[in-house]
Chain A
Amino acid sequence: MSLLELDGVETYYGESHILEGVDLEIEEGEVVALMGRNGVGKTTTLRSILQLTPPREGSIRYRGEELVGKETHEVADAGVGWIPEDRRMFSQLTVEENVRIAVPKGSDVEAGLELAWDAFPDLEEIRDRDAGDLSGGQQQMLAIARGLVGENDLLLVDEPSEGLAPLIVEAVHDALEAVAGETTILLVEQNLPMALDLADRFYVLDHGVVVDSGDADEVSTDSERLRRHLSA
């Protein structure tokens, strides 16, 4: 049984048909890259899994259990975490509070904080600062830390390198690589070298359907197979 299975998922925004029957599977321990041009439905796929934009048709099973029809907090409770595209820090909460709130209820908060500070020592130094005052790179680290302490079995990571300086992208890559050893990841990423380096497998999405998939080491950043679907 796969950790996550999407079967014929069709999702709409109002009358706009965004996902037109997405099928994909993720095995436990894998890093799977979901690639595609802007606006093909990558973020919508993640939102559909989280039930933030519930599909109208199709099935999403996590550990064999149907997620469609559940509330978002129930999906999260089942072990699905989200590191969203624009980080979505709670800007008026401190760095520490942003980590604290991500520790599941009933879990050891201090242990969660330790885990976050061990992974990102720079964050500990600014733990009392409002998250809204952080740089883009610091916010991304905090977003990953939040995903890390959430005790998730599956992390949905959306465009983690977007808008970051190359040096910071490298740090984000390293952080995700470390997380990948612990957690299954579905990674939406436009930065092809980073996506292919981290991923075991990939799916390519175009106009709301999966048009290609395979092992990450089957392709390279300049292969015609990927450029056909990813170039503008």
Chain B
Amino acid sequence: MTGTVLAPLFVDALGEFFRPGTLSEVLLNGLSKAALYAMIASGLTLVFGLLGVLNFAHGSFTMLGAYLGGLVMVVLVGSATGDLARVLFFLVGTLVVFAAIGALGGAVEVGLIRQLYDRPPIYQILLTFGLALVLDEGARIVVAFYGLQPITDWRDALGTKPGFMAENLEVAGLTVAPLALFQIVFGVVTIGAVWLFLTRTRYGMVVRAGSEDDEMTAALGIDVNRVFTTVFALGSAVAGVAGMLLMWDPVWGASLPLAHETLLPAFVVVIVGGLGTFRGTVVAAGLVGLVDATMTWWFQNAITFTGLPEMMIFLVLVLTLIVRPQGLFGVEEVGGH
């Protein structure tokens, strides 16, 4: 009886899902999530690949990037500021966030994490977990001090978004979200820049070498500690820039929960792609982003069951671990230490 009632509903939903307007919306949403996940997870995987450290404070860098970027925008943007100027200010904010969060990441590596390289991994996990708590609570105090709601989005920052990004466009029957397009382009440019850095520069070559064998790299006259600091700073900075992008997104917004809401999918992406592999992380980000967007649509439009969309990416994780435990592009043993 139940089956005969549900079957037509499912067929209807299937028809709706494959409508060009819906598909384009889901695809764009999925790719924008993929771009964001790739930005956040690439830092996580670079740090793990080179330093052998699983950084539980990585999501906090994204959250701090969102707040700092929001602060820059709120300070610079007035009600009379035009759309083009808002985009330019966004780029200025990106540079500020990149520099500030990168400097914070570098200081964390030099001041805290470096002291524990010779200890078992559990020390680094506990340290970065503790650091995440300190950063999150520190941000909570500051946010509360200035009278903002820590749990909900920072509305003033959301309001600095250019007008043309606020509404979806209908183009030839397809639904196009300008903000999602912006996130995709920004993510592709950022990931492309990191990829060029890794593959086309001497320093990138050193990073890849150090990820495989830090002792041999040092024996070639390379100051591996300096490379560790640079990579930790770079990974943190890119995570912060991803936060800047999320600050304009009404689904996310600058808020304290952003730290763990971004950390968990990023960990899923890193593990699915293969710990420590940049290429795997980018591919896995695409996979997880598209699965996330697809399942979000299904659970919002065809199956009402709160919380399940978020769980589906963990299903991807479980399936990957069963079928290919080392991840899509992973090798059996990785880690700089």
Which residues of A approach B to under 8 Å, CB–CB?
Answer: 50, 52, 71-73, 75-77, 81-82, 84, 88, 90-93, 97, 100-102, 104-105, 146, 150
Contact = CB atoms under 8 A, between A and B. Distances in A.
A93 B209 contact: yes
A76 B215 contact: no
For the residues of A in contact with B, the DSSP-based class is loop
B219 A50 contact: yes
A151 to B, nearest CB: 9
A101 B215 contact: no
Given A93-B205, A97-B205, A104 B221 contact: yes
B212 A91 contact: yes
A92 B224 CA distance: 18
B216 A90 contact: yes
Contacts, number: 61
Given A100-B202, A101-B205, A71 B218 contact: yes
B63 interface: no
Given A84-B216, A90-B216, A73 B205 contact: no
B117 to A, nearest CB: 13
Nearest to A78: B221
B221 A77 contact: yes
Contact of B220 (A76, A91, A92): A76
B208 to A, nearest CB: 6
Contacts of B225: 71
B310 interface: no
B205 A72 contact: no
A150 B219 CA distance: 10
A90 B223 contact: no
Given A91-B212, A93-B209, A101 B219 contact: no
A146 B217 CA distance: 12
Interface-central residue, B206, B215, B221, B222, by most chain A CB under 10 Å: B221
Nearest to A51: B218
A100 B200 CA distance: 12
Contacts of B202: 100-101
